[in-house]
Amino acid sequence: MLRTRLFYGLLTLILLLWGVGAAALLLVHDSNVRSEERLRENYPAIKTARGMRTVTSTVNTHYLPALAAAPDDGEVDRSLYDEQHAELLERLNSLRSARQGDAQWADVVGRLDLALKAYFQGYDRFFGGEQVTRDERAGLLEYLSSQTQRITELSEGVISLAENKMLVSTRVLSEESAKNTIFVATLVMLGTSIAVLIYFQLVRHLVDPVIGLKRSIEEIRKGNFELSLPESSPDSEFRAVTSAFNDMAAELHLRRGETDERLMRTNLVNRAILEAIPSPVFVLGEDGRILQVNPAAEALTENLGVSNRLPAKIQRILDETVEAGSNHLPEDPREALLFRVNEREYYYLPRIFRFTSDDGIHSGRAVLLHNVTRIRWLDDMKTNLISTVSHEIKTPLTGIRMVLHLLLEERSGALTDVQKTMVNSASSDCERLLVTLNTLLDLSRAESGTTHLDRQPTSMAEVVARVERLFLPKTTEKNLSFRFDIADNLPDVHADPLRLDEVMNNLVSNAFKHSPEGGTIILKVARAGEGFVRASVIDEGPGVPEASQSRVFERFFRAPGQETDGVGLGLFISREIMRAHEGRIGLLDRADNKTEFYIDVPLA
């Protein structure tokens, strides 16, 4: 266990540290004590020995001159001598007791004792006063001098011996201190080795596994799941980590494999779907970058010279769609965009829609360009065919009609009643056929003629005023009346006034048809949200049956049971005109027994 190892290793280190510290303190203390002891042992001895010399010389100085002089009768005062005699003996005793058990010392002190004794004998003779003669006196003086000399020498010997002892003890001390140094150094070395040992243990058990883990994580990030961590020893804390990590890597490997396979399959399916769609398809990310295009889109962009980018026209619509946050799903082939590829014209209807993932996190847009070239061509063909055929039928029909009219005029001869009836019948059929043909021609005109607008700032109020002028003479027929509800300060709209007149005429004409006798038709103009002016035509007629409401703007639609004339193109043409204006036309829900048709025209 790393924890225990760490604990014991550091504990040893701490104990060692304490040991070294304690030993060092002890040794220093011990050496201090010993050196003090030596000093105490030897220093007083030296001092005492040196004092003996002083004392003897004091005694000698006091008494010896008398001895050197002529014999004197006077009694010599011996009090100083006695005093000094005691002093010397005391000093000797002190020297003797200073070092017991030391043979050399005892020998030197013994000899000093003998010398002192001899010295004292000399002075005893002096004080006995036996020396009378000059020679005797000289002999005593000499004796005393030599004894003093001897004492001095022996004192010197004691001093040098004490000094010697001190020197020796200092040497011993320094030898001991060297040993102590070695001891402490050994301990320090030991501590250092333990620290190094702990370091390597830590590296091996702590740092190495972490580095291995880091390397493995990097490998896994690179996608290499094969590398697994070596199993740690059973008592390592890293064992759990390692095995958990290896399990995780294995799990990841497995999942990755599954995910890869699923992705590949999904990708294949997506590609198959995209490639099967003959229309160019662009899949875009939320940031507008193209994520995927199908082969049809590749071919189209390549032919347009904008390889794998959205053509500018489509990009513009896409930007508008993104800004509006809506989808762009037109259905009318006339909203298709023209592209020239290899000098041929193609019409593509752009369908742009937003998609989000199931969790709602990811989203993007798909742009599908629906090729409506053929539909457009067929539509044009149909319109042209209707127009051509109508004209071709109309021409001979006018001849027939003229002839019938001439017959009915009876200028070339009277008709019998039967003949007249038959010609009348033929004539009315002829008229009906002509109405139908004219309607067909109107239709083709509406379908081909709403593309060119002369848009200019136009006052909606003036449009309403023109409509009123046009219809005012007709109000007498059904005793109808107009009412106006026109807001003040209306901005101009951006529209072709003639076309707008046509739409309003149509709506008012419808209102006339459906109004009851004596009814009121309301013409209302007001702002409709941002960017639009709404003009409404409100009548009090029976309204549009609910089932027909969604179909009134279709071509040829006539509400069931409707008796009034017309073939059901007015609202269709009006819708086409409003569509070309990027405006709106609509029918509001019936309220207060009133029917309201409105147009929203964009502002100038």
Partner 1 sequence: MCPSPDHGVDDARDRYKVLVVDDEPTLRLGFSYALADHETDTASGGQEALNKLEQGDYDIVVLDLRMPEVDGLQVIEALRGRGDDLPVVLCSAAVTPAAALRAIGGKVVDFLLKPVCPAELRGVIEYVLQPSGDPLSLAMREARTGRLDEALAYLDDGPADCPRIATWRHILGALRSAEPDRKAAAAAKLEIEGLKHLSFRLPED
CB nearer to partner 1: give 108 or 467.
Answer: 467
Query: Which of 469, 564, 475, 481 shows the shortest CA–CA distance to 519?
Result: 481
| DSSP states of 124-156 | HHHHHT---SHHHHHHHHHHHHHHHHHHHHHHH
Residue 568 beta carbon to partner 1: minimum distance, rounded to whole angstroms: 19
Please, what is the minimum distance in Å from the beta carbon of residue 441 to partner 1?
7
389: tokens are: 């055929």
| CB closer to partner 1, 49 vs 577 | 577
Q: How far is the CB of 601 from partner 1 (least distance, A)?
A: 17
Structure token digits, residue 144: 């005393």
Least distance from partner 1 to the Cβ atom of residue 440, Å = 12
DSSP 3-state of 30: helix
Token duo for residue 455: 């848009």
Nearer to partner 1, 97 or 395 (CB): 395
Tokens of 53: 């010399």
**Strand ranges inside 357-465, DSSP E:** 363-371, 456-458
Q: Residue numbers of the site for partner 1 (CB under 8 A)? A: 391, 394-403, 405-406, 409, 411-413, 430, 434, 441, 449, 452, 454, 469, 496, 498-499, 501-502
Q: Compute the C-alpha angle 297/303/308, nearest 5°.
A: 45
Instruction: Please state the closest distance from residue 576 (CB atom) to partner 1, in A.
Output: 13
CA gap 563, 552 in Å, rounded? 15
Decide whether 91 or 499 has the Cβ nearer to partner 1. Answer: 499
Taking a C-beta distance cutoff of 8 angstroms, is the pair 534, 543 a contact?
no
CB of 396 or CB of 561, closer to partner 1: 396
Closest CB to partner 1 among residues 76, 441: 441
Specify the residue, 190 or 397, whose C-beta has the smaller distance to partner 1: 397
Q: Cα(592)–Cα(495) distance, rounded to whole angstroms?
A: 31
Name the DSSP class of 228: -
Pairing label, strands 584-587, 595-602: antiparallel
Task: For residues 5 and 1, give the distance between their C-alpha atoms in angstroms, rounded to a whole number.
Answer: 6
Name residue, tokens 């003090």: 36
Beta carbon of residue 486, minimum distance to partner 1 (angstroms, whole number) = 21
465 vs 522 by CB, closer to partner 1: 465
CB of 476 to partner 1, least distance (A): 16
The terminus-to-terminus CA distance of the chain in angstroms comes to 86
In the bound complex, what is the minimum distance in angstroms from residue 338's beta carbon to partner 1? 23
Supply the minimum distance, in Å, between the C-beta of residue 334 and partner 1. 18
AA letter at 518 = G
**How would you label 168-195 residue by residue, b for 16+ Cβ within 10 Å and e otherwise?**
ebeeebeeeeeebeeebeebeeebeebe
Nearer to partner 1 among residue 61 and residue 395 (C-beta): 395
Nearer to partner 1, 289 or 469 (CB): 469
| Residue pair 590/540 in contact by the 8 Å Cβ criterion | no
Strands 532-539 and 584-587: unpaired
Give the separation between CA 459 and CA 441, rounded to whole angstroms. Answer: 31
Pick between residue 78 and residue 394 the one whose CB is nearest to partner 1: 394
Looking at the Cβ atoms of 498 and 588, the one nearer to partner 1 is 498
CB of 437 to partner 1, least distance (A): 9
Contacts of 593 by beta carbon, 8 Å cutoff, 6+ apart: 540, 543
Paired residues of 276 in beta bridges: none
For partner 1, give the closer residue by CB, 222 or 452.
Answer: 452
CB of 385 to partner 1, least distance (A): 15
If the CB atoms of residues 242 and 506 are measured against partner 1, the closer one turns out to be 506
Sheet (strand 584-587) strand order: 481-486, 520-527, 532-539, 595-602, 584-587
Min dist CB 586 to partner 1, Å, is: 22
Nearest distance in Å: CB 451, partner 1: 12
Local structure of 493: helix, strand or coil: strand
Cβ contacts of 535 within 8 Å, gap of 6 or more: 460, 463, 464, 504, 523, 524, 525, 598, 599, 601
* Angular region, 192: left φ>0, alpha ψ -120 to 50, beta rest: alpha
For the bound state, the minimum distance from the C-beta of residue 381 to partner 1, rounded and expressed in Å, comes to 19
* Backbone CA torsion sign across 329, 330, 336, 342: positive
β 456-458/344-356 pair status: unpaired
Instruction: Evaluate whether 552 touches 544 at the Cβ level (below 8 Å).
Output: yes
